[in-house]
A = this chain, B = another copy of it.
Amino acid sequence: MGSTLNDYTVKDALLFSQRMMQLSKAFWKSIEKDWEQWIKPYDLAINEHHILWITYYLKDASISEIAKFGIMHISTAFNFSKKLEERGYLQFFKKENDRRNTYIQLTEKGKELLLKLFEDYDPLQNSVCKEALSLQHVYGKFPDMIEIMAVVRNIYGDDFIGIFERSLERIEKDFVEEDGRLKKGG
């Protein structure tokens, strides 16, 4: 069969692609809406919140790290960071041993904002979380989405996934009490 690439056909690939295009658009649009809803009281854009969050868990971050882990263009990362600096949530600095790159770190005000946002988090206001509860009931845990994880790992690389996993560990360490409640007050 001239159409066979190893052991799949162009049809298999096309149907998979079409499925992923429609599914991931639908899924992302819901995530995006929840995310916007969550940060709206603080007048933040998704990219801004993402920058604060990355800067928090990396301690300090270069603009190119922000762009990489936030999946945004360098110029987007820079422009949103500037806006956050103007609002007093983070500051730019240079490192002694690396004068070429610009780094950013959170201010106290930035850390407080991030903590406040975690405090505000309400699973039942989050449609993706709410609609994943039927899976949680069936399996006794929220889905891991290991297939997507595998594809994202192949595309973005091991260090992307490594940092991603570490960011989740930081939430557990810094924002969650031992009994699973969220910490209150900063």
Q: A11-B181, A123-B5, A140-B7 are in contact. Are A16 and B154 (CB under 8 A)?
A: no
CB <8 Å contact, B31 and A24: yes
Q: Fill in one digit per residue for A5-17: 1 if any B CB lies within 8 Å of its CB, else 0.
A: 1111111111111
- With A1-B180, A11-B181, A18-B168 known to touch, is A132 a contact of B151 (CB < 8 Å)? yes
Q: Does A27 contact B (CB under 8 A)?
A: yes
Interface residues on A, range: 35 or more
A127 touches B143 (CB 8 A): no
| A71 close to B26 (CB less than 8 A) | yes
| A170 CB, min distance to chain B CBs, angstroms | 10
- Report the bound CA distance from A21 to B168 in whole Å: 11
Q: How far is the CB of A73 from chain B (nearest CB, A)?
A: 11
Say whether B147 contacts A11, CB under 8 Å.
no
Report chain B residues within 8 Å CB of A71: 25-26, 29
* B182–A123 CB distance below 8 A: no
Nearest-Cβ distance from residue A11 to partner chain B, whole angstroms: 4
Do residues B8 and A152 form an inter-chain contact, with CB atoms below 8 A?
A: no
Copies held by the complex: 2
Task: For A10, give its contact among B1, B16, B35, B182 (CB under 8 Å).
Answer: B182
Is B10 within 8 A of A129, CB to CB?
no
Q: A21-B31, A26-B156, A128-B151 are in contact. Are A121 and B182 (CB under 8 A)?
A: no
Instruction: Say whether A4 faces chain B, with CB atoms less than 8 Å apart.
Output: yes
Given A25-B31, A121-B17, A135-B150, check contact A10 B181 (CB 8 Å): yes
What are 12 of the A-B contact pairs (CB < 8 Å)? A4-B180, A8-B136, A10-B180, A15-B168, A16-B142, A18-B167, A22-B167, A23-B149, A24-B28, A131-B155, A132-B151, A143-B150
